[in-house]
Structure 1
Amino acid sequence: MKAARHYDIDALRVLTIALLLIYHIAIVFQPWALFVGFIKSDVSWESLWVPMSLLNVWRIPILFFVSGMGVYFAMRKRSWKTLIGERVQRILIPFLFGILAIAPLHIFIFQEFYGQSLNYYAHMGHLWFLGNIFVYVVCFLPIFYVLKRREGGIFKRRAVQLMSQPVGPLVIALFFMLEALLVKPQIYSLYAQTWHGFFLGALAFFFGYLLMYCGPTIWKTVGKWKWMYLLLGLVLFTLRYVYYQLEAPGYLMALESINWIFGVFGLCHQFLNKPSKLLSYASEAAYPVYIIHMVVLYLGCLWILPLPVPVYLQFVLLVVFTFVGCYAFYEFLIKRIWFLRPLFGLKFGRKRGLKSTKIISQDI
């Protein structure tokens, strides 16, 4: 039987990428921005980091969850060889291209901003996420196909039974709490190119697949209990803010993260699980926008940060510039130039890209 399409997952991917852009823009206005390789504004806006800290514990893990869900959809009608081949085209090629061309480009802009000599550095930058996803696909695919062949088995029945209870998602949280206790990350939200980010991402990717494997049961659970998960997340964030100055022990931040994630799943499933032309367009654009956004953000820093305007206005201008700039790059270059499309994770278009070949975003 054909599985129902989850428009809420498409919407969640789009919203999460949008929040990622805002998060990265907020880093520019923090006094420690240079320490994580970002251009830094001369004027800081440290209070902006409070809501960003709330976002930070779940913004990356939820993307790994969604990526695992995408593999479930992709496996419905593909052999493992076909799926690996598609992942090479859709993930590995953009990842390698990004290392050689995209990340070095925003480093050039960084060097120009600070008056440094221009030097070429091939590196992953923000595209580390794609490298992790490709590794997870290769490593977990044999397990996923075993599960697929045994859909009527006891493991699935037990998993469905567990996920039918509100405690089910909290059992998943135990694995993330254990990861934090074993790996002991110095900063929980430092995911990029760390073992903590790798293992946390692997757990989220695996459980993302497993949630879709359980069928509609999990969506009924998160829909019914979403406010409980969100309340627990808020309580844990308040505890982190009041008693730990935003950096609580890792196991508490892991528990907070999972509650936010399942609360957001429930909200999106209730309110965003419907098709629209805007969602269809944004679903295709989200991946290329993720790849190009740091270049656009740094261009905006070149022109906006020197302006003699209040810091909050600089932030607003940089948000507008980044979103509009990413849209322009996607709409007028990436989408329409046929040889650029596969370098940014899109399929080749017909007639040299003038007519777009629609992607199925849930397969990504």
Structure 2
Amino acid sequence: MKQITRRYDLDWLRTIGVLVVIPFHSLLMFNMDPGAIVYVKDTIDVKLFNILDRILHSFHMPLLFVIAGMSVYFSLQCRTKTKYINERVRKLLIPSLFGCIILNPVMTYIYLISKNENVSFLNHLLRFFTKNPGDFVGLTGAFTPAHLWFVIYLLIFSLVGLPFFMKISKGDFNNLLFRLGDFLEKPLMLILAAIPVTIFSAINILGDKNPLVYFAIFFIGFLLAADDRYQKSIIRDKWIYLILSIIFVYLKFNIPHTFETWSPIWCIYGIFNSSTTIVSVFALLGLANRFINKNTRVLDYLSKASFPVYIIHMLINTMVGFCIIKLNIIPEIKFILIVVITFTACFLVYEFIKRVEFWCYIFAIKSEQKLSEEIKPKEIYDETKLF
């Protein structure tokens, strides 16, 4: 087993990316687009909030999937196959089952109440597990994984792709990957990663949660970690990626995208859309490595808290939003109150969770007692703070 130097820049990006879901889902409460799924909404459509959530949506989840893919490579360098599988199941399956069975029915019940549906919680609970889920968003009272689709995807991708990941880690494709690296390390050539993402995007599966697209992004992250030349090229080109991402996002907001399916302009726009995601992720990876690749006490705390906070945040955000949107105040103040109260409540719940052994097991974190008893060199990579 190898010892891998810890990437604190990835810790920062992952932690910030996870915590950003709270303001992101709070923004969606003021977006009247029925495709913007949250479980309580105001009656006012706020244009500025819509712009902000669209910007975040263009790169937020892809960034987390890239980091998750990188963490798989690092994990396989210092873990056996059996230990890797056991950790993935324990850290991803148990929390997602708890959230889907215990938390999500409460959240969708709040949604039904907000729509003035006269249904008891018991009847809703029965319907939650027996009604045809359809599109899995939960707005009919049927089962939904809600925000936990991300955790479930990570579990599936980590296990389904494992045979291939193991072969790459063992060096079975070294010659091919070395030649690929020779080509892709050239300036801006990594943007070509947008091509497989575009191809899978053309296959309509689960809308914006297309598993093929996210597996491609996840696999891109794995390959980025497998060859140091990719990270060096990202660092070298980081400012160009940043400029391109700003230009692409601006164009994305100003170019009509209602094109005939499979027309040439539709295909070109698809590549442009995927490129916007890719260059934004690369810009963040490069800038983070340059400016925030260091450990701090704040990072140490937040990185441990972020996963439990992710699991519980949607229910708390829904409860807080349900109360705040009724207030007769401007949307901007409502948004601030929702975000602040949700953050505060989530971290208070986390402080309780980490002190109880049972809840530590459910949320796949180490209790304070175990952390205090554990002695290990901080400079060595471990997976406890990555997906």
Shift of 1:59: 0.9
Structure 1 residues 246, 15: CA separation in 2 closer, same or farther (over 3 Å shift)? farther
Shift of 1:356: 8.5
Match of 2:302 among 282, 295, 308: 282
Counterpart-to-counterpart distance in 1, 2:364 and 2:162: 20
Counterpart-to-counterpart distance in 1, 2:179 and 2:324: 55
Name the SS of the counterpart of 1:244 in structure 2: coil
% of aligned pairs identical?
26
Structure 1 residues 276, 252: CA separation in 2 closer, same or farther (over 3 Å shift)? same
Counterpart-to-counterpart distance in 2, 1:321 and 1:306: 15
Counterpart-to-counterpart distance in 2, 1:160 and 1:355: 42
Q: Match for residue 59 of structure 1? A: 60
Q: Match for residue 220 of structure 2? A: 207
Contact preservation (8 Å) 2:39, 2:107: no
Shift of 1:250: 3.1
Match of 1:130 among 136, 146, 151: 151
Q: Match for residue 179 of structure 2? A: 158
Structure 1 residues 363, 30: CA separation in 2 closer, same or farther (over 3 Å shift)? closer
Structure 2 spans left out of the alignment, 5+ residues: 129-142, 260-265, 376-381
Shift of 1:242: 1.6
> Following superposition of structure 1 onto structure 2, how do residues 274-353 of structure 1 map, counting pairs within 5 Å?
274-332=294-352, 334-347=353-366, 349=367
> Following superposition of structure 1 onto structure 2, how do residues 109-258 of structure 1 map, counting pairs within 5 Å?
109-116=110-117, 117=119, 118=121, 119-120=124-125, 121=128, 122-150=143-171, 153-180=174-201, 182-184=202-204, 190-191=208-209, 197-215=210-228, 217-244=229-256, 249-258=269-278
Q: Match for residue 134 of structure 2? A: none
Contact preservation (8 Å) 1:184, 1:250: no
Structure 1 residues 363, 318: CA separation in 2 closer, same or farther (over 3 Å shift)? closer
Question: Which deviations, in whole Å up to 9, do the C-alpha atoms of 1:292-314 show, x marking residues without a partner?
Answer: 11111011112211111111110
Counterpart-to-counterpart distance in 1, 2:71 and 2:191: 22
Name the SS of the counterpart of 1:212 in structure 2: helix
Name the SS of the counterpart of 1:340 in structure 2: helix
The AA in structure 1 aligned to 2:278 is I
Which structure carries more relative contact order (alpha carbon 8 Å, separation 6+)? 2
The AA in structure 2 aligned to 1:76 is Q
Counterpart-to-counterpart distance in 1, 2:356 and 2:385: 24
Structure 1 residues 355, 21: CA separation in 2 closer, same or farther (over 3 Å shift)? same
Shift of 1:278: 0.7
Shift of 1:207: 1.2
Question: Which deviations, in whole Å up to 9, do the C-alpha atoms of 1:202-241 show, x marking residues without a partner?
Answer: 01111111111102x2222111211211222222222221
Name the SS of the counterpart of 1:183 in structure 2: coil
The AA in structure 2 aligned to 1:82 is K
TM-score, normalised via structure 1 length: 0.89
The AA in structure 1 aligned to 2:25 is H
Counterpart-to-counterpart distance in 1, 2:90 and 2:36: 34
Q: State the aligned residue count.
A: 352
Structure 1 residues 32, 270: CA separation in 2 closer, same or farther (over 3 Å shift)? same
Shift of 1:35: 6.6
The AA in structure 2 aligned to 1:60 is M
Name the SS of the counterpart of 1:339 in structure 2: helix
Q: Match for residue 378 of structure 2? A: none
Counterpart-to-counterpart distance in 1, 2:101 and 2:206: 30
Contact preservation (8 Å) 1:70, 1:362: no
> Following superposition of structure 1 onto structure 2, how do residues 44-83 of structure 1 map, counting pairs within 5 Å?
44-83=45-84
Contact preservation (8 Å) 1:41, 1:305: yes
TM-score, normalised via structure 2 length: 0.84
Mean Cα displacement is larger for which, 151-160 or 22-31? 151-160
Counterpart-to-counterpart distance in 2, 1:184 and 1:149: 34
Structure 1 residues 222, 327: CA separation in 2 closer, same or farther (over 3 Å shift)? same
Contact preservation (8 Å) 2:224, 2:230: yes
Contact preservation (8 Å) 1:232, 1:259: yes
Mean Cα displacement is larger for which, 86-95 or 104-113? 104-113
Query: What CA RMSD, in Å, does the superposition of the two structures yield over aligned residues?
Result: 2.5
Structure 1 residues 285, 90: CA separation in 2 closer, same or farther (over 3 Å shift)? same
Q: Match for residue 105 of structure 1? A: 106
Question: Which deviations, in whole Å up to 9, do the C-alpha atoms of 1:111-143 show, x marking residues without a partner?
Answer: 333443231124311101111111111111111
